[in-house]
Structure 1
């Protein structure tokens, strides 16, 4: 899926914030859980007011989160991008099932945990000839914010992806008592500090705690350090 406006993009600045252009909507996206604590659904919060072009903190130290206040300069933030520049499919492993397949690029995991309930998606893929399991599998895979997981229709060879609005979510994870990454939805281009254009994808998560080892993408470190957007 591609972005709706040609000027929509997020540009990583060298050791600085994410520069967002194209008047991209911004809102909190909270992970809601079942009684057992498993990730179940997304709850969208109120829209966050912003300008047509705005800067989002990626060092984790801004006092005006989610926006940058220049703290990256004060703390000497080093935001060197270390993520692979290979395509998603070149990074992913393939799991085969009777009706659907699953691709998994583990390095992109943002620890949303939607993959875990109901026996987990890795076990479900082999049972996708069961309609109930197939429906559950597609839902859980598509709730994965980072796009680590993608379901594929074997007959057509096409991904089974839910359409998402061009928008940025500020992930909150009450179950883990932390704030999560920036969730880029709907095919927003991401441009590296050196001008490299990462593969455009329907779902991407960018680090905003400053501690990911897979910058600019999230690697789940926010949960370990209990990063807070407050």
Structure 2
């Protein structure tokens, strides 16, 4: 399985990667709480996903990037926030915050926020909520480590691509690449492989091919 970024064109997904749409669900207090699958697309060995945001056949590419002269120049490289993230050490959990990866999914805001919950992680309910919030973060901005065992707490994710939608806020989110699928640049470089990666699909990111949250208001 692989995702190839084409030059000023779509993402070419190969290897029979499952594709689905998921929505962010809210609880009774209007906090982001869970993911809900709303559509699963027919499995294909290869397909092209829109990167410019103008396709009439989203999430698939329909060639419109050529008509609008889409500039898909990749600007991502060795992002400094991957090397020097913010660390918050609580009594039982340590939070690694790669702020530059934020896509504004807002799972981290519930119950006072994951940062405060980490600092209160000796309280079982706070610890459990912090873990739930970190594991729901689609971009992997927020990663927890158990301070007793030293183990990183990561969700087990099916290797797949998810089209993120947030209908409650009328927001069309990024492509959520799950399970460590390699993403390769147009010039053949493989980006850092992570369990959770979010790719821009509105064409407005300043950190292409990755999402930087500029889809808000798209």
Q: What TM-score range do you get, normalising by the shorter chain?
A: over 0.9
For residue 117 of structure 1, give the secondary structure of its aligned residue in structure 2: helix
Match of 1:201 among 168, 188, 194: 194
1:84 and 2:77 aligned = yes
From 143, 165, 169, give the equivalent of 1:150. 143
Alpha-carbon displacement from aligned partner over 1:23-43 (angstroms, at most 9, x marks no partner) = 100111100012332111000
- Paired with 1:129 and 1:84, the residues of 2 have a C-alpha distance of 37
- Partners of 1:47 and 1:127 lie apart in 2 by 39
Mapped contact 2:17–2:44 kept (Cα < 8 A)? no
Q: Distance in 2 between matches of 1:163 and 1:88?
A: 24
Distance 2:140 2:51 in 1: 20
Q: Deviations over 1:1-30 (max 9, x none)?
A: xxxxxxx01111111100101110011110
SS in structure 1 of the partner of residue 215 of structure 2: helix
Q: Aligned match of 2:206 in 213, 221, 224? A: 213
TM-score, structure 1 length as denominator?
Answer: 0.91
CA shift, 1:95, in A, is: 1.0
Question: C-alpha distance in 2, partners of 1:36/1:71?
Answer: 40
Question: TM-score with structure 2 length normalisation?
Answer: 0.96
Secondary structure class of the residue paired with 2:216? helix
1:135 & 1:68 partners in 2: Cα distance?
A: 40
Q: Which of 151, 157, 166 is the matching residue for 2:159?
A: 166
For structure 2, the residue ranges without an aligned partner over 5 or more in a row are none
- 1:64 pairs with 2:64: no
Match runs of 1:30-45 below 5 Å: 30-45=23-38
Query: Out of 2, 22, 28, which is 1:9 matched to?
Result: 2
Structure 1 unpaired stretches of 5+? 1-7, 226-230
| Alignment-derived partner of residue 134 in structure 2 | 141
Question: Is 1:131 the equivalent of 2:124?
Answer: yes
* Root mean square deviation, CA, Å: 1.4
Superposed displacement of residue 162, structure 1: 1.3
Shift of 1:224: 2.5
1:118 counterpart SS class:
helix
